Amino acid sequence: MKTDEANFEHLYSAYGPAILAYALRRTNAATAQDVVGDTFAVAWRKRDQTPGEALPWLYGIARRVLANERRGSLRRLRLRDRLSYERVPQERETESGVLVALGTLSPREQETLLLTAWEGLTPTEAAVVMGCSANAFRIRLHRAKHKLEQALESTDGPQRGAHGAQEVMG
Amino acid sequence: MTVLDQLAAVNPVRSENVAELTPQLPPLRIPPALRSARRSRIVFAGAAFGLSAVAVGSALAVTTNTFESLSSFLSSSAPQQARSAVAAITQSAVVTHRFGPPSAIELAVSANGPDGQVSVYRLQFAGGAVGSVMVDVSNATPHVDGATIGSQEEMTPASGLTVHNSFVGKPATSPVYFSGSVASNVVSVELLSADGETHPVDVANGEIIGWISPSASSAGYIDAELIAQNASGVTVGRVDACGSPTDVDFRAHSSTMPDDVSAACVLPPTPDH
């Protein structure tokens, strides 16, 4: 048991910052800390399943924790005047056209792109996070990049705004 | 510049800065061993109550001093249903064999449910264990329900809320009543349903009692959440309540549910008979 705890503390110190960064890229600081705590609580319960390459596995847990957190937030948001679901933090949308365009993609497409661009994962590693094969991830990534390019063109071109976005979403 | 490059350029936390986040990491919490909430289920016949009896390790502190002896309680003016429930526990061979008969009892928490009063009574056993019994005093019709016997660790601030048992009088008509325990730092518990409505859950003496109305189900399914908060308004315990109005599963708030909400907390439909 002591060995278990020591190993787990090592896992936490090695990968905790990366999981915190993952969460901070997607939510606010307070929630990010909760996500880290919950992610490692789950990881502790599943410690006998920890793979050799632990980081993608931890990202996968964090992804589900964050989705679950958003699900709980959604209930609370409905409670508070039925605000809309926040997929990308509002302040970032005003900063960058690429993030505005990203916001028009589905959550899965967004995550596919962000795991590559922000976490710097290879398709094989990202596939572990997304729970699919590496080949499937490559296909998803290719399609998501194409959609993002189209969305960027749509958001850049005022003539094609909403119509272009609809085409992208379709 | 590819779209991935454009995305990388707006990365809120660049990879070279990740190591600097170490001081911001929350303290590592290694959860205690999971409690075994439902070791066995016992059915009592001919009693007018729904009950759950959870024999609890002696580490669970009972700080109130309002216990009375069993004989005093059984001859008191307490509701007949409660006395019947306690009498049934006392006579249970399994309870008596494993823990001995309860020696003392107190009223922990009581609430006015949609159909009448519901209460949780706390029991002390001769061997030092404690337990609880949930009693629906609104149900005067003889009714059979079960008792849950198990062992349980002390509630801690890190595991602020747990639900021991639940029962439904008339499925899809009666509320789903539930009872449980909270850590000493919990001051409030609320039930948050999927439609965003909230209902306070009664809390007293470390025990909770509440109910989920049949109307809270959506398309025949219940998807709700119990949230326990401390005096500072910080959430210290969460329990998911999922299932059909006839069979609600209360479990520690899951961090491993799938993204798809519809698949996360929904049981498949039960065919009508």
Identify the three-state secondary structure at position B1.
Answer: coil
Give A119's pLDDT tier (boundaries 50, 70, 90). Answer: very high
Rg from Cα positions in chain B: 22
For chain B, percent of residues with pLDDT exceeding 70? 61
- Answer yes or no: is pLDDT of B177 > 90: no
Residues near B243 by Cβ (< 8 Å), separated by ≥ 6? B221, B222, B249, B267
Residue B199 has pLDDT above 50, yes or no: yes
Residue B86 has pLDDT above 80, yes or no: no
> Among the listed ranges A9-13, A55-59, A125-129, B152-156, which one has the minimum average pLDDT value?
B152-156
Closest CA of chain A from B161, distance in Å: 16
The answer on pLDDT for B267 being more than 50 is no
Confidence of residue B176 (pLDDT cuts 50, 70, 90): confident
Rounded mean pLDDT of chain A?
77
- Average pLDDT for chain B: 69
pLDDT digits (tens, 9 = 90+) for B39-57: 333 434 333 344 555 544 3
Q: B-chain residues within 8 Å CB-CB of A17?
A: 18-22, 25
- Determine the pLDDT at residue B139: 60
Cα–Cα dist A111/A123, whole Å: 12
Using one digit for the tens of pLDDT, what is the confidence trace for A89-115? Answer: 444 444 578 888 998 888 889 999 999
> What pLDDT shows up at residue B167?
76
| Residue contact A113–B4, C-beta within 8 A | yes
Least CB–CB distance from A78: residue in B17, B196, B256: B196
Residue A149 near chain B (CB below 8 Å): yes
CA of A146: which chain B residue's CA is closest?
Answer: B3
Determine whether the interchain pair B10/A67 forms a contact, defined as Cβ–Cβ distance below 8 Å.
no
Q: How many A/B residue pairs have CB atoms within 8 Å?
A: 130
Contact: A79, B10; criterion CB under 8 Å: no
A75 has pLDDT over 60? no
pLDDT computed for residue B255 by the predictor? 46
Three-state SS string over chain A comes to CHHHHHHHHHHHHHHHHHHHHHHHCCCCHHHHHHHHHHHHHHHHHCHHHCCCCHHHHHHHHHHHHHHHHHHHHHHHHHHCCCCCCCCCCHHHHCCCHHHHHHCCCCHHHHHHHHHHHCCCCCHHHHHHHHCCCHHHHHHHHHHHHHHHHHHHHHHHCHHHHHHHHHHHHC
Would the CB atoms of B24 and A25 count as touching at under 8 Å? no
Task: Report d(CA A116, CA A82) in Å as an integer.
Answer: 33
In chain A, residues with a C-beta closer than 8 Å to the C-beta of B253 are: 68, 72
Span of A7-21, A67-81, B213-227, B257-271 with lowest mean pLDDT: B257-271
Nearest CA-CA partner of A145 in B235, B90, B6, B248: B6
Angstrom distance (rounded) from CA A89 to CA B47: 56
User: Cβ separation of A75 and B21 shorter than 8 Å?
Assistant: no
DSSP state, B33?
Answer: P
Q: B233-254: per-residue pLDDT in tens? A: 888 888 888 877 667 778 777 5
pLDDT computed for residue B257 by the predictor? 38
Could you count the other beta carbons within 10 Å of the beta carbon of residue B55?
23
C-alpha pair distances (Å), B95 with each of A72, B102, B131: 39, 9, 11
B166 pLDDT above the threshold of 60: yes
Q: What is the pLDDT of residue A126?
A: 94
Q: For A152, which of B3, B31, B253 is closest by C-beta distance?
A: B3
Percent of chain B with pLDDT strictly greater than 90: 4
Cα–Cα dist B223/B243, whole Å:
7
Say whether residue B33 is in contact with chain A using an 8 A CB cutoff: no
Of B24, B67, B47, give the one whose Cα is nearest residue B167: B47
Greater confidence (B217 vs A34) lies with A34
pLDDT at A81: 36
Which among A5, A75, A118 has CB closest to B11?
Answer: A118
